[in-house]
Every structure is written in structure tokens, then in C-alpha cells.
Chains A and B, each alone.
Chain A
Amino acid sequence: MCRNRCSALRNTNNGNKLNTKALIAVTVCAVLLICIVLTDLVQSRSEYSSTTIAMGTVVNFRLFGSDGEQTELGLKENLTETEEALLSHRKENSDIYRVNAASGSAVSVSKETVDFIATALEVSKKCGGVFDITVGNLTKLWDFGGDNQRIPDEEEIAKAIETVSHSSVKITDTTVITANGQSLDLGAVGKGAACDRIRNYLSATRTDSAVISVGGSLLLYGNRSFNIGIVNPENDTESMGTLKLSDTCVSTSGDYERFFVEGDKTYHHILNARTGYPAESNLSSVTVVCGSGTLSDALSTACFILGYNDSLVLLKEFDAEAVFVFKDKTVRVTDGLEKKFTLTDESFVMAE
């Protein structure tokens, strides 16, 4: 009985020999396939986030899509290039350095630099010159965050302000001419300009969506919508409200970013180009949302200097939206952002 069963078993085994081999092959293939599909799935759906320092500021990446690591490397390179070839006023070969070194004569620069400068000049013109990219000599005097930060003499400021004039900057498709002794400072638009360049770069990668912060100026890329926190001016690790946005650029200017205290007065880094002194404003910060990074960066600075009422006109001209945070902890939002803005910190109130 037992023997019979054994031999029967052996027979079935022999009979199934081919099947067993086929089974092994199929199982191994299936397992391999599952693993490949799974890793691919995990990779493509996955988020790649990283933080680095570039352009002298903190850069946060959150990339959604494939090849995150590779894309990040490319982005870092792109940022370094933005600084070294275009915007830096310390690197000797950058466009801005060469323009400043040869003030008074025509300097041929890249098309991108011309575009950034054109956008910034446009904002300068429309805001009556309170925001101006020709403030280089002025910012050098104050040197916020540098080794020589101080309150300059009135004479020094008067002298520096003579060189501030956006209308004397002439641009063609490939050249920039500044007036003699004039010095460009693209600090107020640099981070936004970097966002615009990053957007161009991302469109050539396998990134579906991304949110990238270049020192607080944000690029929102792709269809995915993101919750953007607006920093609490009193505590820079907390947010006071959020904006739900997609496919746009966001920039904030505030008096809390860089400042020093002398006597009982606080001097912040946003200079009114007309007076040469930090902008007197009842605002703590302005957050501007619009399609162009350069524009949003320039507008946020201009709006901070202008104050609430004049800003509304300016924003309308450029089809941009904004969130205003006042010193008395009230908040105003332009019409286009009303539904997208949520106040999260209860110590702030919406203004009537």
C-alpha cells in the first residue's frame, strides 16, 4: 500500500518534472518582474527632496517624477551658472560684474540677463523709482549682512543717490549700457530670476511637478498644487498663513530678513531708492504671486516700499496678486488670492 503510494508519488513527480521546471522559470520571472515594476513605481511616484546652499542662500528642492537625483544635480549646476555667469557682482566673469566694471560703455551680455534687467526696469518705471536696480552704490554703503554694515553719513547717501537712475540704463537685445559710475544690484530680483531659469531647465527633465525655494523665492512647477506657508515675520520658523497654489512663482519681501539695530532704531535692508534709507512702511512683509519669478521678486520689494494703497495699482498693471502683512498683525489679500489664502496663526487677523 505504502509502496504503491510512494511509487505513484514518484510517478507524478516524474510526470511533472517539466512542469516543475516551467513553474520555477515562471516564478523567477514573475518575481523579477514584480521587483522591477515595483522599484520603477516607487521611483516614479516618489518625491525627491533635498536641501543645499547655492547662490549664497538656502535652496530647497522637492521634485515629483522620475530621475529626481539626476535632476537635482542639474538644478544645482543651473543655479551655480546663474550666479557665476549672470548675476554675481563678485565673480569676475559674470554679466553683472562686467556691466558694473565698465559703467558708461556698452557691455555685451547674455539674452537672459537682458531679460531680467528689462523686467526689473519695467517695474522701476511703473513704481516711480522707489525700487531701482541701479542702487548698487547705495547698498554697498549700508552693506547689510556684510562686514561693514553701518548707517552712512547723509553726504555719502546723497552722493550715492546721484548715481541711482533706472532711466539712464539702456538695453538692446544683447547689450547693456549704464551711466558712468552707476552700479547695478540685482539682489532684489536674483532669486526670482533663478526660479525662471530653473523652470526652463525642468521642462527638459522627467519631472512632473516640483516646488523649489531659492532663499524663500519659490517656483511652483507642474499641475500639482502646493500649500505655501507665508513666514511669520516674528518667528522665521513658523508660518502665519498658507496659500494653495500651482504653476506660478511666489516671492516675499520683509523687514525681518536682514537688519541691524543702532540706538533705538531698527534699520532693515529694503532701501527706498528715492531716499536712500530703509523704506518707512507699516508693512511687515509682502508676498507676491505671479507667473514670472523675476517679476514677483521685483514686485514684492517694490510693494513693500510703496505701501498697501499704491501697491494695488502696481500689482494690477502686472496682473499679479499679493498678501500684505502689516506691523499691527493685520493681513490683507488681493481679490485673486482670497479663496486660496488661509490664516493659520490666530494672533493675526484679516483686515476689514
Chain B
Amino acid sequence: MKNNKYTKRVALLGIMGALALALSFLESLIPALPGLPPGAKPGLSNIVTMFMASSYSVADAFFITILKALFAGITRGSTAMLMSASGGLLSTAVACILLRSKKFNSGYIGIGIICAVCHNIGQLVSACLISGTWSLVFGYGPLLLLFAIVTGCVTGTVLKLVLPALNRIINRL
């Protein structure tokens, strides 16, 4: 029985990990948007970590975040890994708190936006640390936040739509 539980977990992590990697690969094909720093992406793979955070375990949400960062490190170098890790860990942490909190009564769009904002803040801070120029905050910050609203809406809405389907997968496993 216990064995079965672990099998389930491994299988789910495999599916979700693959999904997250596929999504981040798809995103890396999107060219840099004007006014935004190179590497600013819609953050579609956040959907996966947000789902893991809300319906499965917090630990596994972080596992996928780290997997994503390692993938970025292998495919796009150590700077990309650091950016992915800093943004991902912050936004996953916030997603875990918000999605699991009963008191926090905003909808998925709001949570999506906050996660996207946290993701961008994490990346911006690490970009500032790497380059040593804190003026990046003012140069890129405003547009990144506006961008986060858009991507947050998208990820929140998609999460809400696919959540029933994903939950069914978990239940059937």
C-alpha cells in the first residue's frame, strides 16, 4: 500500500516535471519583448508549480521549481539558472502560502498576479546582484510589474480551468 503511494508520487512528479520543462522550453522560444529585460517570460510553467502547491504537496512544488532551475542551468547557463531559481523559489513560496490559506480570499487571478510579481521581483533582485546595478529596478521594474499583471491573469485563469482535470488525474492515480 505504502509502496503504491510512492509510485503514485513518482509518476505524478514525472508528469508534472515534464510538463513544467516543456512549458519553460516553449517560453524560451518567445523572443525578447520590447522594453522588458531579456528573459522576461510569461511564466506558463508557474501553472504547474501553483497546481502542485494547491492540490498536492508543498515539498513537491519546490521540487519542480528546483528541477526547472536545473533545466535552465543545463540548457541556458548558470546565469539563467540563478534567475530561474530566485524567481521560482520566491513565487512558489508565496503560492504555497496564498493557495493554502483559507483567510486569503482573493481569486486565482489575484494569486496568479502576486506569484508573477514575486517571480519578477526575485529575478530582478538577482539580476541586480549579478550585474551590480540597482538602477535596473527603476529601468525594468515598472514594465515588469505591468507585464506580471498580464501573465498573472493568464496563469490564474488557466490554473482555474485546468484544476478540475488535474485533480481528477491525482484522484485516479
Q: Do chains A and B touch in the complex (CB under 8 A)?
A: yes
Interface residues in chain A, defined as those with a beta carbon under 8 Å from any beta carbon in chain B: 24, 27-28, 31-32, 34-35, 38-39, 42-43
How far apart are B105's CB and chain A's nearest CB, in angstroms?
Answer: 12
Is B64 close to A, CB under 8 A? no
Is B109 close to A, CB under 8 A? yes
State which residues 134-162 of B face A: CB under 8 Å: 143, 146-147, 149-150, 153, 157
In the complex with contacts A24-B109, A38-B146, A39-B143, A31-B153 CB distance below 8 A:
yes
Is B34 close to A, CB under 8 A? yes
Is B132 close to A, CB under 8 A? no
Interface range, B side: 10 to 19
Interface residues in chain B, defined as those with a beta carbon under 8 Å from any beta carbon in chain A: 33-35, 109, 143, 146-147, 149-150, 153, 157
Chain B residues within an 8 Å CB radius of A31: 146, 149-150, 153
Chain A residues within an 8 Å CB radius of B150: 31-32, 35
Chain A residues within an 8 Å CB radius of B35: 39, 42-43
Chain A residues within an 8 Å CB radius of B109: 24
A35 touches B147 (CB 8 A): yes
A-B contact count (CB 8 A): 26
B34 touches A34 (CB 8 A): no
Q: Which of B33, B146, B153 contacts A28 (CB 8 A)?
A: B153
Alpha-carbon distance A43/B150, docked complex (angstroms):
19
How far apart are B66's CB and chain A's nearest CB, in angstroms?
Answer: 31
How far apart are B30's CB and chain A's nearest CB, in angstroms?
Answer: 15
A34 touches B146 (CB 8 A): yes
How far apart are B24's CB and chain A's nearest CB, in angstroms?
Answer: 22
25 contacts between A and B (CB under 8 A): A24-B109, A24-B157, A27-B153, A28-B153, A28-B157, A31-B146, A31-B149, A31-B150, A31-B153, A32-B150, A34-B146, A35-B146, A35-B147, A35-B149, A35-B150, A38-B143, A38-B146, A39-B34, A39-B35, A39-B143, A42-B34, A42-B35, A42-B143, A43-B34, A43-B35
Q: Looking across the interface, which residue of chain B has its beta carbon closest to that of A42?
A: B35
Alpha-carbon distance A28/B146, docked complex (angstroms):
12
How far apart are A4's CB and chain B's nearest CB, in angstroms?
Answer: 21
Chain A residues within an 8 Å CB radius of B147: 35
Alpha-carbon distance A28/B153, docked complex (angstroms):
7
Q: Which 3 A-B pairs have the closest CB atoms?
A: A28-B153, A39-B35, A31-B149
How far apart are A13's CB and chain B's nearest CB, in angstroms?
Answer: 12
Q: Looking across the interface, which residue of chain A has its beta carbon closest to that of B109?
A: A24
Chain B residues within an 8 Å CB radius of A34: 146
Chain A residues within an 8 Å CB radius of B153: 27-28, 31
Chain A residues within an 8 Å CB radius of B143: 38-39, 42
Q: Looking across the interface, which residue of chain A has its beta carbon closest to that of B36?
A: A39
Alpha-carbon distance A32/B149, docked complex (angstroms):
9
How far apart are B9's CB and chain A's nearest CB, in angstroms?
Answer: 34
Chain A residues within an 8 Å CB radius of B157: 24, 28
Chain B residues within an 8 Å CB radius of A43: 34-35
Starting from the known contacts A28-B153, A28-B157, A39-B35, 19 additional A-B residue pairs (CB-CB under 8 Å) come to A24-B109, A27-B153, A31-B149, A31-B150, A31-B153, A32-B150, A34-B146, A35-B146, A35-B147, A35-B149, A35-B150, A39-B33, A39-B34, A39-B143, A42-B34, A42-B35, A42-B143, A43-B34, A43-B35
Q: Looking across the interface, which residue of chain B has its beta carbon closest to that of A40?
A: B34
Chain A residues within an 8 Å CB radius of B33: 39
Q: Looking across the interface, which residue of chain B has its beta carbon closest to that of A69?
A: B34
Q: Looking across the interface, which residue of chain A has its beta carbon closest to that of B149?
A: A31
Chain B residues within an 8 Å CB radius of A27: 153
How far apart are B166's CB and chain A's nearest CB, in angstroms?
Answer: 21
Alpha-carbon distance A344/B150, docked complex (angstroms):
49
Alpha-carbon distance A23/B34, docked complex (angstroms):
29
Q: Looking across the interface, which residue of chain B has its beta carbon closest to that of A36?
A: B150
How far apart are B48's CB and chain A's nearest CB, in angstroms?
Answer: 21
Alpha-carbon distance A142/B128, docked complex (angstroms):
52
Alpha-carbon distance A27/B152, docked complex (angstroms):
12
How far apart are A126's CB and chain B's nearest CB, in angstroms?
Answer: 49
How far apart are A165's CB and chain B's nearest CB, in angstroms?
Answer: 55
Q: Looking across the interface, which residue of chain B has its beta carbon closest to that of A29?
A: B153
In this complex, the member of A27, A39, A42 whose beta carbon has the largest number of chain B beta carbons within 10 angstroms is: A39
